[in-house]
Amino acid sequence: MTIVRDKDIRSGKPIVKGTRVAVGDIVARFYKLGRSTEEVATDLDVEGSDVEDALRYYHDTVLDREDVGIEA
């Protein structure tokens, strides 16, 4: 999985490994702006698989458990 947490990056919010792109950034572009996974990947300079992992993380963690630290 490419989603990690590092307390020193983005205040510990879940991010795409090796970047400062937070899951919340991806979720906001996908749902609020209605961007496709490819468009989100291009917007944020990440791989399409990173976008898919972030959305999966959001659904598995936030929607199922209402995890703190992701603002969509």
Kindly state whether residue 55 falls inside one of the protein's structural domains.
yes
Kindly state whether residue 72 falls inside one of the protein's structural domains.
no
Residue linked to tokens 């929607």: 63
Whether the model clears a pTM of 0.85, i.e. scores above it, the answer is: no
Residue 62: pLDDT over 90: no
Q: What is the pLDDT of residues 6-57, one digit of tens each?
A: 999 999 999 999 999 999 999 999 999 999 999 999 999 999 999 999 999 9
Per DSSP, 6 falls in state: -
Q: State the total domains in the chain.
A: 1
pLDDT score at 66: 55
Domain that holds residue 41: 3-65
Kindly state whether residue 28 falls inside one of the protein's structural domains.
yes
Kindly state whether residue 70 falls inside one of the protein's structural domains.
no
pLDDT score at 68: 47
Kindly state whether residue 46 falls inside one of the protein's structural domains.
yes
CATH number of the domain that residue 14 is part of: 1.10.10.10
What is the H or E stretch that residue 39 is in? helix 37-44
C-alpha distances (whole Å) from 13 to each of 1, 21, 33, 36 are: 15, 10, 21, 23
